[in-house]
Chain A
């Protein structure tokens, strides 16, 4: 049969985000041999279209407008819905990112459509496209289908493998002119606070600290370890509540849910609410002074010891590994 699937590509600091490639891979499955159309929205983004095609998009539609220089739900929804009206797709895939979470419900509402958010897997079973998603922050999972109207889903970063990059692929890149009006929310300023480079939800390695880090300064050795591994730093609710770090770093049922390849829990006891946010990580390492700590029950590898001794040694050891690699 074959479906036409629109994928909203996401741009950060002038580059495509990884989740956009993952969304293309999901769209490929949903399309069942139909067409995957990348959608690029922004002030000046046309140069990124090729990247989408290299990762599996069949063609790309670009909407450029100075009113799209910053994300706003009003601006981006007008632009995206103009593309939907032009293309009349059977399915839509977004990344489940800050932008995707904000924009997708509005687009779904405008289309009078259902929406399956935060998907970690997609498969085709008979006539149905079946999406798997965590519920209760990963304490359980559900499989869901759309029963009426357009198929619309957002995919969680880091869970669906992107297709292999193929620079020999080519495809059509077209432009759609859209008049954007009535922006009712205006961004006055963006303050960069997140750690440089690696986003917590997309990081392959997460080094997380709990109450055991004792202070804001206590996070320094964790950051050094994360830097060596190209990862990001996270925290438990205990560490955030104690004021050691910003709530944006919190991992757990309240806070972020992360699924990195490697999760290193430092001085985290392992409350149920924290485990919900990280126990679906591929490999878990626990470092804690208390051998009875709950975190050891979910860890693949554990070291019973003081994180302030263990973490710097670990950083040194990884440095050696990188040098020898």
Chain B
């Protein structure tokens, strides 16, 4: 296997299967990551609020949940999602993609809740005191003073979470959900050219995550400037 043959094989694969990688694989991976981060952020925000609640029981439940999610492998969680979710909502005849997406969302929510909580707590306590001393109540202080500042800490971190999720969705290929890694499995099965297919998928993952992290970085710098 020389460099030239590998290169030629890659060209061959791309000519024949480019749509499998680019149209199907990349779009499913991006869609899965976007769904995960979007709903993960919403659920994560709820968890963060619960974690900062005055009710000890609520805090304990969230803490336990976050620890369990962070302390077990994502692949295991995906398996559980794959088997459990259809059992819990049988009426919907929920598909593999949805089951996997739900598992990813739950996983991401645990991480995002910490991102949001630390983003909020990073805002100087003096800001809360100033707002409260003017007579603002707790929720007015949160929505008008703290959150607008915390969002600057949270958004870049969410962007990075998106980049991480793009890589982690590759585990979903275990269930053939059609993501980029599934493209690899499909093309390898047809061509028996495992190495070349892997190179293609690897380059695509890298381009996706590299471009996105650069964008997040630029956005982060812009936010910093407006401080």
- Judge: A and B partners, yes or no: no
B residues bordering A, Cβ < 8 Å?
Answer: none
A residues bordering B, Cβ < 8 Å?
Answer: none
